[in-house]
Amino acid sequence: MNTRQRFDDQPGFVLHTYPWRETSLIVETFTRDHGRLPLMAKGARRPGSAVRGVLMAFQPLAVSWSGKSELKTLTGAYWQGGQALLGGIGLLCGYYLNELLLRLLPREDAHPILFDRYAQTIRALAEGRQTAPLLRSFELALLQELGYGLTLDVVAGSGEIVQEGGNYYFIVERGVLEADGEMGDSATPGSALTGRALLAMAHDDFSDADTLAQAKGLMRRLLQHYLGGQQLESRRILIELQEL
Amino acid sequence: MNPLDQLIEALRILPGIGPKSAQRMAYHLLQRDRAGAARLGQSLGVALERLQHCARCNTFTEAEICERCASPQRDASLLCVVEMPADLAVMEQTHSYRGMYYVLMGRISPLDGVGPRELNLEKLIARAADGVVAEVILATNFTNEGEATAHYVGEVLRTRGVKVSRIARGVPVGGELEHTDIGTLAQAMVERRSL
């Protein structure tokens, strides 16, 4: 594997860029077939650079790169268009999605299904759709795609199907458990889930306000666990902005 | 730590300067240009001691209020919000704006951990609500970060009853459609205006 590899016009998004040296950028990209991939964009901060205005987050791009080291060199980026720019609250939600991907996705691990979900979610945000159902649905897809084995419609251990009218709770790394009279200390407060909400989540249906509220609590706990307790900056800033 | 290592460490705080570059700079200053090094040290000390943020526009100034903000020639009812002093400078080159400025010294960038607290947005909010400012013009960059900044500053000021506008974007003056980048063209179509 010491031949210099070249990839042309791969579908991808920019997740974030960091200035590098005087005129270059390190670009964290999320590509469909090569996963999260950091690329060095040489001279991208020069005034006349062809990619200067293109390397923007939330825009579908066709990305080319080459190289054999860990940090490959960006050789081209073309705007694919077809969607408006993100604005307002949708833009802040976009940063949140990007931060989740940057923190949770390992490098160079292809997730084409997740990529398509990301592209769909960004498009929906650009169209100004209601943000909460989009975020919950993406969070769930991300955790499932990362292999955390989130099964929401089957009771852990017993293998019984979750009942619409039943009451349950969720333990991280274990799964859905039936709530009976004596739940003991194993259940964290606020972790109660209705069978109806669990089944709706399992079918990726976040249209109901009750489901949405329960999903928010569940996703918050799960993400906190898999992020190892790290604070998400985009969430902190969104909260601060809403307090202004 | 000896003085040489201390100097190298100190130079590393500059953006984009790693250990190698810092070492090269240190040797250059000590070996090749000792007079320049003395000047650098002195101006750094003076700047740190004398310069502060203007109480009104937030740029660096020696006085409490900078010359531009104190000038009676300028229209105090207009307040133009820019990200950096370089943006203010280029705006001045247009000779088409005679109002006041506010320089944020950055932009909201969630993934870099820069939010309203880091930008001290409270200062801008207080400045815009001085009773004289009639319109706030948001001239942050047309990047995602600039847009996020404009959106939130705009919302906050609007709820406080301040009139807010955003500078226009689109095909550059003298630009031909054929040679305009397609992203700009697409957005110009989205943001078209009726005549």
Q: What is the ipTM of this complex?
A: 0.85
Answer whether 0.90 is exceeded by the pTM: no
Q: Provide the domain limits for residue A216.
A: 85-244
Domain tally, chain A: 2
Q: Measured between CB atoms, does A240 come within 8 Å of chain B?
A: yes
Residues A38 and A101 in one domain: no
- Domain end marker among A50, A79, A108: A79
Query: DSSP letter at A222?
Result: H
Q: What is the pLDDT of residue B187?
A: 87
The 3-state DSSP class for residue A212 equals: helix
- pLDDT at A186 (0 to 100): 52
A185 and A135 share one domain? yes
A59 plus A131 within the same structural domain: no
Mark which residues 68-87 of A lie under 8 Å from B by CB: 79, 81, 84-87
Contact indicator for A47, A6 with CB cutoff of 8 Å: no
pLDDT in tens, B74-88: 999 999 999 999 999
Q: Which two tokens stand for residue B81?
A: 């919000």
A11 sits in which H/E element: strand A6-20
CATH code: domain of residue A238: 1.20.1440.120
Segment among A30-39, B9-18, B58-67, B123-132 with least mean pLDDT: B9-18
What integer pLDDT is reported at residue A190 of this predicted model? Answer: 58
- Looking at the structure, do residues A69 and A96 belong to the same domain, yes or no? no
Q: Are residues A59 and A42 in the same domain?
A: yes
How many whole angstroms separate alpha carbon B125 and alpha carbon B139? 16
* A103 and A124 part of one domain: yes
Judgement on whether residues A162 and A216 belong to the same structural domain of the protein: yes
Q: Which of A85, A95, A102 sits opposite B187 (nearest CB)?
A: A85
The mean per-residue pLDDT over the stretch B112-139 comes to 94
Contact B110 A233 (CB under 8 A): yes
Which chain B residue has its CA at the smallest distance from A25's CA? B16
Check A92 against B182: CB less than 8 A apart: no
Q: What angle do CA A28, A85, B118 make, to 5 degrees?
A: 65
Last residue of a domain, one of A32, A47, A79: A79
Q: Which two tokens stand for residue A239?
A: 């909260």
Q: Which residue has the tokens 């991300």?
A: A142
B171-190 pLDDT, tens digit each: 999 989 998 888 888 889 98
Secondary structure (H, E, C), chain B: CCHHHHHHHHHCCCCCCCHHHHHHHHHHHHHHCHHHHHHHHHHHHHHHHHCEECCCCCCEECCCCCHHHHCCCCEEEEEEEECCHHHHHHHHHCCCCCEEEEECCCCCEHHHCECHHHHCHHHHHHHHCCCCCCEEEECCCCCHHHHHHHHHHHHHHHHCCCEEEECCCCCCCCCCHHHCCHHHHHHHHHCCCCC
Indicate if A241 and A154 belong to the same structural domain.
yes
**A20 and A117 together in one domain:** no
| Boundary-marking domain end, from A79, A94, A116 | A79
User: Which of A79, A52, A76, A80 lies closest to A66 in space, CA to CA?
Assistant: A76
Per-residue pLDDT tens listing for chain A (244 residues): 556 789 999 999 999 999 888 889 999 999 999 999 999 999 999 888 888 889 999 999 999 999 988 899 999 999 998 788 898 899 999 999 999 999 999 999 999 999 999 999 999 999 999 999 999 999 999 999 998 878 899 998 888 999 999 999 888 888 898 887 555 545 555 578 999 999 999 999 999 999 999 999 999 999 999 999 888 999 999 999 888 7
Query: Which of B115, B125, B186 has the CB atom closest to A241's CB atom?
Result: B115
- Placement of tokens 């769909």 in the chain: A120
Using CB atoms, pick whichever of B113, B116, B182 lies closest to residue A81.
B182
Task: CATH number of the domain at A71, please.
Answer: 2.40.50.140
